[in-house]
Amino acid sequence: MRNNPLGKLAGRRLVRFGVIGVGGMGKGHCATLGTVRQARLAAVCDTDPGAAAQAARQFGVPSFPTHRRLIESGLCDAVTIATPHPAHGPIAIDCLEAGLPVLVEKPMAERISMAEKMVRVARKSRTPLAVMFQRRFEPVFAKALQLTAAGAIGEVYRTCLISPEFRTQSYYDSGSWRATWAGEGGGVMMNQAPHVMDLFIQLGGMPCAVYGRTETRMHRIEVEDLAEALLRYPNGGTGYLACSTNEFGPGQMIELFGDRGKLVYRDGALRLFRFKPAIRTCITRARGPWEKPSLHEVPLKIDGQAPGQAAVLRNLVRHLLRGEPLVTEAQTAWASLELANAITLSAHEDRWVTLPIRRAAYDRLLAERRRTSSFVKPGRRDQRVTDPRLAP
């Protein structure tokens, strides 16, 4: 086991990164690293020899056929992992045990039991593990988190998440691994919605029970393209969640209703409303039968633009070189994965499921769905195209 990377890299001026998995997302990591001060792309890795060679030529770095060969090369101080989700855990564990800090794409794994194992290894090896949740750095969500932490709306009684994540059939056909139990371990909740689900939990808290429903409605895939759930919270509050790749925006929304006000995020804009008096006070102390609290909107000042994936990489670099707090540390980032697993398990069992979920029960369900899968994708060549929204 190597020494703590914080000690090893402290005082250094540069962090050399390896990118493991150079499909569309991985090539985006390669390009973004070129924009991050004190970071340098040092190597790439992919099990597809053609993809590895192409990325090596494009970015002028050596390539490796396996992540173990990349680790053994000694060329890298840290790695990012952008393989299909089920490979995240085993690769991350090998890198962590070798003392290489890891930034893994979302979701950090396809099942919560693996995510917990990754965190245990990171702790044991004293090696940083972060998740690519770049939306945590968006100024609008930084403001929203500041407001909820300060109690701006009081105790939360109801939450709502609406997440239209439209995708075409061509998108799903572009990768043999996409939208399969073997390749992804889930659908919209596993791939398209984790970012906003993460923010939803950061703002509204983790529910203690869910009743989920999943459906494959409009696409020729074997996993869900629609997920809905009723939510319960420890304080008795309730919530509703809907994620779908069948629905096109506008409409992405997070709404929190609290005793003192309401916080609403919709299509990139954040609004804060305040009640006077608070809801419980008005209910119990109002003298007239038609009295209501007054309602006014609080002006919010939000500066800056969404910084994208570069913000996560910058934060990791500064963490390694200067000890800056790690914003997307893995233990804070597995909640959306557990919620997705819980909704899938609830939909399968057709009942309320409490959180934390039974790890073994979900692992058995996923293994059974993979074992019994008979889904066959069209015989098309995989397309490794970076989402244009992630261009640096």
- 377: tokens are 């994708």
The list of the chain residues with pLDDT below 70 reads 1-7, 379-392
CATH number of 5-131: 3.40.50.720
Domain ranges for the chain, please list them.
5-131, 136-301+336-372
What is the separation of C-alpha 155 from the centre of its chain, rounded to a whole number of angstroms?
26
Contact in structure between 175 and 320 (CB atoms under 8 Å): no
Please name the residue that has the structure tokens 């959180």.
355
Tens of pLDDT along 52-75? Answer: 999 999 999 999 999 999 999 999
pLDDT given at position 386: 67
Query: Taking the complete model, does pTM exceed 0.85, yes or no?
Result: yes
Confidence at residue 11, expressed as pLDDT on a 0 to 100 scale: 73
Got the DSSP string for 63-107?
A: EESSHHHHHHHT--SEEEE-S-HHHHHHHHHHHHHTT--EEEPSS
**Per-residue pLDDT at 388:** 66
| SS3 state of residue 37 | coil
Correct CATH for 136-301+336-372 of 3.30.360.10, 3.40.50.150, 3.90.25.10, 3.30.450.40: 3.30.360.10
Q: Which two tokens stand for residue 363?
A: 């692992």
Q: What angle do CA 11, 333, 181 make, to 5 degrees?
A: 125
pLDDT of residue 8: 74
Contact assessment for residue 139 and residue 306, using Cβ atoms and an 8 Å cutoff: yes
